[in-house]
A and B are shown apart, each in its own frame.
Chain A
Amino acid sequence: MGKKELKVAFLLALRSLQRGSRSSVLLTIIIVAMCFTNMVFLPGLFNGIGEGIITQVVDYEVGNVLVSPKTGEQYVTDLDATLDLINSMPGVERATPHLSKGATLKYRQRMLGVSVKAIKPGDEKYVSPLYSKMVAGSYLGEDDTGEVIIGKPVAGDATIKQEDEFQPSLGGVRVGDSITIEYANGYTKDYRVKGIYYAGWSSTDNNVIITWSDMEQVEGKTLDYAEFITVKAKPGYEEKFIKDELQQYGISEYVQTTGDLLKKVMGSVMQSFAIINLVSLVVGIIITTVVLFIVITIKTINSRKQIGILRAIGVDKEVIMHTYGLQVVIMAVLGIFFGVILTAILAVYLAAHPIVTPEWKAYLFLTPMDYLVNSLILFLASVVAGYVPAWQVSREDIQTAMRA
């Protein structure tokens, strides 16, 4: 097929779209755009949930690398030496210890069982962005004693009755209020609430955080041990590099990267997401293919006589096939284009207003490759859907077509 034939096919296709039923063309383009959105939205959202969870796990749980006790041991011991060693390694931004104790909070008539976590606020700032998540009051200072910061769900809301609460809380603690913490070892102390934070990550938001010095008072001794150490890598350093380095430098504790941990925790979840994504993709492709197939089949059936006439005046069947095929190509390209714009708008909107649940928050995570791959898949499906009926009708006998 030469350039002239292709030009004529394109002219006939373009004019048919321009001067034919505009509502049908518009509807088809919208359907393709919706199918594209359907194909990328759910996978994008799942990727967003996954990315959100990874980010939050890194930010609030383990940093880039987690150093936890050896098998059979309760704590990472010889803490100061271990921290000094880790902090001196190339690629390590900062290592910081964590120690949690079960406790009961008391505030007015309310009692609440929580986990009280001790941190070193100065080091913690390098590892976790929690300091920037204060919704009231301020973050802990390195030498603070007798002060705590608490998660927003723990503080609660004074305007909500206890029986209407989603989860138990202290019923509306404000900054400056005093709360009593009764530890499992019997130690009891009143603390001033210095700040209230909200990270959007359930296990962090349900904590009460005190300084390392305060925890030493609870334990009644200098703490040279921790439950675990979180390590933040400097920009440009990979988690695996840090892990290998820690092991080479003689850290005998159990060292895991975020990736190692997520593989264990999120592996099956990600597999389920992948299956749902695949189903969503296949359904989207089938819908688009069927819709375009029907649209072009109806169009060719309605144009059979005209197709017969065109063949009679010397228009080759290849040109006729491309006339209808190109109509689908044009509609598919426009549909995909609008689908890309629509999903991009949704992505921007969800980035500004993520879907928030008590456990996690999600946004639309789509890479240029996601757009490209889905566009190509939909485009190919559209071409098949358009060219099959176009090919069939172009092969029809002239007499039969003209009598239609």
Chain B
Amino acid sequence: MVREKETTLYIGPQHPGITGNMMVKVKVQGDTVTKAEVHVGYLHRAFEKLIERRNWLQSFTILCRFCVPEPDPMELTYARAVEELEGREVPERAKYIRVMVMELARLQSFMLWYAGQSGSAGLYTLGQWSVGDRNYLLDLFEDLTGGRIYHMYIWPGGVRRDLPVGFKDKALRTMDYIEKRLDEYDKLLFDNVIFQKRAQGVGIVPADKAIEWGVVGAPLRGCGIKADVRIDEPYEVYDRLKFEVPTAFGGDVWARAQVRRQEARQSISIIRQVLEQMPEGEVYNKIPNPMKWKVPAGEAWAKTESVRGEVGFYVVSDGSEFPRRVHVKGAAFTNGVTVTEKILVGQNIADISFILNSMGVCPPEIER
């Protein structure tokens, strides 16, 4: 066998296959990756620094921009950390609304994932369908919060406002529609021989190393490990709802896709349960003077489950009107840098963007 010369390739930042604005520098021999380095920082906006200059509520404009495809977990995690510091109670109805918003956000993020995952395998039809259908979910968000992408809806002490008139019916109708469409997506993606052959055995995260490597979210559940913040440390009303945490075996792209396929259906079922069980009442435990609100000194760590995995906020207060330090640990920070660097070794060049999509790499969350 002729030993081929090692070449360096730069995938990104300007590359149609890359997930967002980042760069993967790979060394290749022939078609096989021998070394991969993830370079980030193209989206660094110094959010953690800016939050130190905003007061507690002004930070919300920044928080939702941490991860663009799925902004709500960031708001909820921060709100929960601040509530823990202050000991503020959240009304029952607000807890249900929060869970509903989180699951809607998960669902719309799954729709984007369908587009990315199939698009990187060359199946462009599904992208047209799922991103088009995602608009129906964004319509729900628009009714609820006034914004399509950025919501700033979940606040410390509850949510900003109650559900609009007729929201429940519209949401249930949308869920019926999306559920029907998910079956059609399955026919296009999971019954597709091209996808099956591309996905199986590619980008394997070894199950015995997964926890030690810091893998979170769907990639971890794709290794057969049942780990999800919603059952490990149930927040809001997740302990009162019936839902499954799907797992799959193999740790490859196929397993991660199977996990997400079932999770999307679980999200629909959770939204239906929440809409059924939601009690009447207040939604917002008012903050007395929002612009001069002071949070007692202390440190708090809160985490929630996003589509990509666990999102954690370490919030430090020194008793003033401004947060002292807000550290964000996004799921992509480990999944997207060290883990991706490891699992890319030995793969083909054509599979790089495929694997990045299945790991759920979200660059704005990595560099903040």
Real binding pair: no
Question: A: which residues have CB within 8 A of B?
Answer: none
